[in-house]
Amino acid sequence: MWARVIPDRPDQLGRGAEIGQDFLRYMAFEEDAGPGFDPLSFDFDRDPPRLTAMARLYDASNPDLSKFKARGGKLIMYSGWADENMSPFASVHYYEAVTKEMGGPAATQTFARLLMVPGAFHCRGGVGPVLVANDLLPALEDWVENGVPPDRIVAAQVDAGKVVRTRPVFPYPLEAKYKGAGDPNDAANFDPVGP
């Protein structure tokens, strides 16, 4: 995925720069700067305070999810270990902060789970079995409607429309470990292991 991130021509923006440019033009300021805004004109003395109003709306860094939990909210977060746009450690760091704030792993797992998917890119695609939104919605519905938390979700690798490999994804910090017997391309032959 690095080919999308690093430009191959001097007149081309990398994917991160494109996202940053559009963010500054259309989302960063309370009043949009618009399509004519040149990110190179960002004034480091004047502009950072102008980002504050929208930062309160966008920043997802507060680990206190007590109001969400009190209302019966359930949260499934996921991130790919091969995410090319955002460090997967950002998701881990946030989830660990939530865990600390919300009373430890057992208390947090009653309403929030983090799934770290080996080989998965940003949001979709990857090398090997990956999750898609369709894998997560039934798990979330079952948790909300039936009280069954997602202890394991099966990721699949599809080639030419055929599933060629599956892997279980367990809630962080658990990881899938091959049992040592059976088809290594079958999720049924993996167990959760902790740190």
Domain extent listing, the chain: 14-58, 66-193
Q: CA nearest 155: which of 181, 173, 180, 175? A: 175
Query: What are the CB-based long-range contacts (under 8 Å, 24+) for 165-169?
Result: 165/128, 165/129, 166/129, 167/118, 167/128, 167/129, 168/192, 169/78, 169/115, 169/116, 169/117, 169/131
Residue 81 and residue 131 in contact, taking contact as beta carbons nearer than 8 Å: no
pLDDT in tens, 15-34: 778 888 899 999 999 989 99
pTM attached to this predicted model: 0.82
Nearby residues of 14 by Cβ (< 8 Å), 6 or more positions away: 5, 6, 7
- Give mean pLDDT, residues 24-51: 90
Residue 183, phi then psi, degrees to nearest 5? -65, 120
pLDDT at 1: 66
| Per-residue model confidence as pLDDT tens digits over 144-172 | 999 999 999 999 998 898 999 999 999 99
Please give the single-letter amino acid code of residue 132: V
Query: What is the C-alpha separation between 120 and 82, in angstroms, rounded?
Result: 5
